[in-house]
């Protein structure tokens, strides 16, 4: 299936929508905004290059300030690809954006790998 990576997880969420797609938290063109966006893209770069521990750290740094569903999902992907438990993060991402199928897919795959199934 296209878009499915190691351990059956979907690719991380990348949402590009022009200049600066993360919400502004420090005001227009602030260094805080730039740092968050840089951290997000650093996490993606590390994730795509297979450096899962450092990718997880990068996403965790962004999530402490801006816990968006796509950040939490990507942090969960990094954890899961590193053999750790991303389920709590996938649950948070799916709850924050219930219409995003990838978050539910990643949660379901992770639950299956642990021998659990979601409750109806």
- pLDDT tens string 50-94: 999 999 999 999 999 999 999 999 999 999 999 999 999 999 999
In this prediction, residues 19-23 reach a mean pLDDT of 53
Rounded to whole angstroms, how far apart are CA atoms 70 and 39? 13
Query: Looking at the domain assignment, is residue 120 inside a domain?
Result: no
> Confidence band (pLDDT; 50, 70, 90) for 17?
very low
In a domain, 60, yes or no: yes
Residue 88 belongs to domain spanning: 30-113
Residue 119 lies in a domain: no
Q: Tally the domains of the chain.
A: 1
What's the predicted TM-score (pTM) here?
A: 0.79
- For residue 5, how many C-alpha atoms fall within 13 Å in the half-sphere facing its CB? 19
Question: Residue 76 belongs to a domain with what CATH number?
Answer: 1.25.40.10
């Amino acid at each position: 299936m296209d878009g499915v990576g190691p351990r059956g997880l979907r690719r991380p969420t990348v949402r590009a929508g022009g200049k600066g797609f993360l919400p502004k938290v420090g005001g227009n063109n602030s260094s805080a905004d730039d740092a968050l966006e840089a951290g997000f893209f650093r996490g993606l770069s590390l994730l795509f290059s297979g450096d899962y521990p450092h990718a997880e750290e990068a996403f965790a740094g962004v999530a402490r300030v801006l816990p968006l569903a796509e950040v939490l999902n990507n942090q969960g992907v990094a954890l899961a690809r590193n053999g750790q438990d991303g389920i709590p993060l996938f649950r948070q991402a799916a709850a924050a954006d219930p219409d995003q199928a990838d978050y539910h897919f990643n949660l379901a795959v992770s639950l299956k790998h642990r021998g659990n199934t979601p409750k109806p």
